[in-house]
Amino acid sequence: MRARALLFDFDGVLVDSVAAVERAWGQWAGEHGLDPATVLAHAHGVRTVETVRVLTPHLDADGEAARIEEREVHHTDEVHAYPGAAALLADLPDGAWAIVTSGTHRLAAARLDATGLPVPDVFVTADDVDAGKPAPDPYLLAAERLGVPPEQCVVVEDSPAGAAAGRSAGMRVVTVLTTHTADRFDEPTVMVDSVAAIRVTGGDDGVLRISTRGGA
């Protein structure tokens, strides 16, 4: 594939935060008599506040989301960069990539700091949009801030909601199979096991040439 920008989801793509996420959401599920597996199935890839609204509409969604985030922020010792993530980002020119996460800026920044991954020029979080994934808004905002047309962007995602957001934005999607199995996705561009399978080279024309290996 050729593109002018790569837009990365964060958790499940660049960083492995599964342990921290499962601990925080598991505690919350227990407090409200909910099945942890059902909660996690809703939580992956979407904004915390939206998961709370769907599962517990009788609660103060903003207040509950803040408490869940507080727990996640304090479990960054359980967060690690995926193999290959740092090397891939190092190969990308400034202004040719962004992070687009369903987490808040505070949570994503804490995890970036814990992993040592670079902070991109464009960093779209749950705080920046009214409608989160699977709506296209987060990815469209990232493309706008980079000054790149949506059709010239490639999204790297691990969740069905995120992949749907990328496609709705008119972008091609690469799915990494770190948190979901292949049968959960509807027509992503290509599937790979992790970001370690993605290679990017760029020429003087500003075009990124993206190849994959070891795909599913």
Q: Which one-letter DSSP state was computed for residue 104? A: -
CA gap 30, 23 in Å, rounded: 11
SS3 of 141, please?
helix
Residues 134, 136: Cα–Cα separation, whole Å: 6
Strand, coil or helix: 209:
strand
Active site residue 204: no
Asked whether 126 and 47 are in contact (CB, 8 A), the reply is yes
Q: Is 186 a catalytic residue?
A: no
Catalytic residue among 9, 16, 137, 158: 9
DSSP-assigned states of every residue in 50-98: HHHHHH-TTS-HHHHHHHHHHHHHTTGGG-EEPTTHHHHHHTSPTTSEE
Catalytic residue among 11, 16, 137, 158: 11
What gap in Å lies between CA 97 and CA 111, rounded to an integer?
A: 18
The one-character DSSP state at 11 is B
Active site residues: 9, 11
